[in-house]
């Protein structure tokens, strides 16, 4: 099964109105060419799931800067002023979620769970309109799973089968999102032959990955 595609072939799979999740933390560990391609093609009306909304000119922050996002699930928008403007003007819906909850919502979608119970947000606006459950005398919020049509990820080294190795702090949301989307596209800094990543060092097993594209790092 050939998973290697060109950036243009991968972009053909991304349609307006889709829900996409993008790996990275303030743009670190995010796929550059795929995001630039979406901006170039103007693929809009997207629902974005990402840890933050980055900076206006950095990676997935550009999706918002170019008004391609109608709804975003994220934990932080403070570094991208455009997110705040579009939220206040009503152009973009913003669902703010605590970071640890967001990652568990994504993980639970990929892990076949009906969501997670978390104490984070109890006694705050985060618990509003959500089910709460008491377990052994302690209250938890029920947070539902969050999945996407497509996950756009970045790996440092990816073999031709799709096994992924991440570098340093570029790991963040990537391995979790790899489990939570119908189609998973990984942009690789380096594509290597099968066997060149030791099986012990594989951080995302190839079965989660559908498409591998070459980045420009």
Partner 1 sequence: MDNNRIKEIIAKRVAMEFKDGNLVNLGIGLPTLVANYIPEGVEVTLQSENGFIGMGPAPEPGKEDPDLVNAGAQYVTVNEGAAFFDSSISFSIIRGGHLDFTVLGALQVDEKGNLANWMIPGKKVPGMGGAMDLVTGAKKVIVAMTHTAKGSIKIMKECNLPLTAKGQVDLIVTEMGVMEVTPRGLLLKEKNPEFTLEEIQKQTEARLIVSENLKDMEI
What is the binding site for partner 1 (CB under 8 A)?
A: 25-29, 51-52, 55, 74-79, 84, 87, 96, 98-101, 103-104, 107, 118-126, 156, 167-176
Whole-angstrom Cα distance, residue 34 to residue 186? 9
CB of 106 to partner 1, least distance (A): 8
Question: Bridge-partner residues for 139, per DSSP?
Answer: 134
In the complex with partner 1, which residue's Cβ is closer, 22 or 156? 156
**β-strand pairing of 116-118 with 138-143:** antiparallel
Q: Using alpha carbons, select from 217, 216, 149 the residue that is nearest to residue 185.
A: 149
In the complex with partner 1, which residue's Cβ is closer, 110 or 162? 110
In the complex with partner 1, which residue's Cβ is closer, 24 or 43? 24
DSSP letter, residue 41? H
Whole-angstrom Cα distance, residue 192 to residue 177? 22
In the complex with partner 1, which residue's Cβ is closer, 39 or 170? 170
In the complex with partner 1, which residue's Cβ is closer, 14 or 143? 143
CB of 124 to partner 1, least distance (A): 5
Whole-angstrom Cα distance, residue 216 to residue 31? 10
CB of 92 to partner 1, least distance (A): 13
Q: Using alpha carbons, select from 48, 39, 35, 59 the residue that is nearest to residue 97.
A: 48
CB of 175 to partner 1, least distance (A): 5
CB of 148 to partner 1, least distance (A): 16
């Amino acid at each position: 099964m050939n998973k290697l595609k060109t950036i243009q072939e991968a972009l053909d799979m991304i349609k307006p109105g889709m829900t996409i999740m993008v790996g990275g933390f303030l743009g670190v560990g995010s796929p550059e060419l795929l995001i630039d391609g979406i901006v170039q093609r103007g693929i809009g009306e997207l629902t974005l799931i990402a840890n933050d909304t980055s900076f206006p000119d950095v990676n997935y922050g550009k999706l918002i800067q170019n008004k391609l996002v109608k709804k975003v699930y994220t934990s932080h928008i403070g570094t991208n002023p455009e997110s705040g403007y579009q939220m206040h003007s009503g152009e973009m819906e913003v669902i703010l979620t605590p970071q640890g909850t967001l990652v568990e919502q994504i993980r639970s979608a990929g892990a076949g769970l009906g969501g997670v119970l978390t104490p984070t947000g109890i006694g705050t606006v985060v618990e509003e309109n959500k089910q709460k459950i008491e377990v052994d005398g302690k209250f938890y919020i029920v947070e539902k799973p969050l999945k996407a049509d497509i996950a756009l990820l970045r790996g440092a080294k990816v073999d031709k089968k799709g096994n992924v190795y991440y570098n340093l702090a570029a790991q963040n949301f990537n391995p979790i999102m790899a489990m939570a989307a119908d189609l998973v596209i990984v942009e690789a800094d380096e594509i290597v032959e099968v066997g060149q990543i030791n099986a012990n060092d594989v951080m995302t097993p190839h079965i989660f990955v559908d498409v591998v594209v070459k980045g420009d790092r």
